Amino acid sequence: MAVGEDTRALVVYGPGSDRYDFGLLHPLTPRRFGPGIGLLRAYGADRFLAPEPASDAELARLHEPAYVEVVRRISADPDGPPERGIGPGDDPAFAGMHEAAATVAGGSLAGMRAILTGEAVHAFHPGGGLHHALAGRASGFCVYNDVALAVALARDAGHRVLYVDMDVHHGDGVQALFWNDPAVLTCSLHETGETLFPGTGRVEERGGPGAEGRAVNVPLQPGTGDASWLAALETVVPALAEAFRPTMLVTQHGCDSHLLDPLAHLRLTTAAYRRAAAVVDEVAHRWCERRWLATGGGGYDVYRVVPRAWALVWLAQAHREPPLETPLEWRARWEDEAVRWHQAPMPEVFLDASDLAGPESPAITAANARIVERAVAGFRARPG
């Protein structure tokens, strides 16, 4: 690899990225791409790959062909009856749904192909990470499971894949799709399913027959802050990598665990996201010959949180330190829109103040430490 190539980490984004759109008031909005991609460009991102729709054959690697046909039918006639999780609620039908969702899937597949062919060692698909979609059903804002399809592509190429999910919601779809596969290790750090969708992700969920210990879950307490979330990440992820010896790293960086996010109950700051990206980058370099596909995932504070969280992933992949302040021009560009959507003011600093969330309670810290101990013990109890 040429000197300096890592500074041109590949970003999967293009005209098709903003077509995945459930409607004006839906939390997962394509409005995030304006400030999000704008901030990446402000810091030097200049290597972009426009996603193209995944083919039906590519989708069928993990999704039931009958389900793909349902999505196609609803895509052409969104006023029809609800079916397969698509309808009123989390996944409302919209015209062009299949093409839009297939483009998200195609984006993560394209990022993975770039890594497999040596075109890139690090790739970031901010619009990807739709980790709840199941083989035959939409769920949790997710129609096709793009990140799982990328994992499968690497798995089929002979890689041992470590998948690390940092979204506040359990990565249930990815876990389910690789439940019986000993060559894929799924690790999810999330708010406990006792208080948050999708209600899964208990420590006891450890993988299917022949793949026991290949699912690792760290369900954290509501109110968790940077301290014990980072303690969990730094304890679990490097230990899993050392034991599993992956040759490919795939990550999901949902930033809905942030204090300002409206849909969950963790209290993280962007300082935690900076450290998390550094930890997984270290894993990629130590075990995976730098091969690392990152995806965006959830995040519903579009102006104050999502852009900085995405930029921290890209900066880690480019091996650059985050600046102290966000660009004045960027703030000015998006301030009026942030006010209109009640997510103002635009953040002046890149890393949140250490006291933004306040101290974590000792009870939460102790409960999370017990969860981490059980999660690691479950992995160590896996078959050889």
Q: What are phi and psi of 251, to 5 degrees?
A: -130, 155
* Run of H or E including 243: helix 226-244
| Pair 150, 111: CB distance under 8 Å | yes
- 49: helix, strand or coil: strand
Q: Give the tokens for residue 227.
A: 């301290």
Residues in the chain: 384
C-alpha radius of gyration, the chain, whole number: 19
Could you give the CA distance from residue 44 to residue 287 in angstroms, rounded to a whole number?
Answer: 27
* Per-residue buried b or exposed e for 219-256, using 16+ beta carbons within 10 Å of the residue's own CB: bbbebbbbebbbebbebbbbbbbeebebbbbbbbbbbb
Token match 């300082």: residue? 271
| Encoded amino acid at 293, one letter | L
Question: What's the rounded Cα separation, in Å, for the pair 327 and 314?
Answer: 16
In sequence order, the β-bridge partners of residue 66 are none
Tokens of 354: 């250490």
Strand partners, 190: 219
Active-site residue identified among 132, 169, 190, 253: 132
| 164 DSSP β-pair partners | 187, 251
The span from the CA of 63 to the CA of 85, in Å, is: 14
Separation between Cα atoms, residue 298 and residue 168, nearest integer Å? 8
> Is position 131 annotated as part of the catalytic site?
no
Per the omega criterion (within 30 degrees of 0), is the bond before 347 cis? Answer: no
Please give the helix or strand (H or E) that residue 123 lies within, else none: strand 122-125
Residues 6+ apart with CB under 8 A from 273: 253, 255, 258, 308, 309, 312, 313
Report the DSSP beta bridge partners of residue 251.
164, 294
State the DSSP H helix or E strand holding residue 367, giving kind and residue range, or none if neither: helix 362-380
State the pairing for strand pair 122-125/184-191: unpaired
Just list the catalytic residues.
Answer: 132
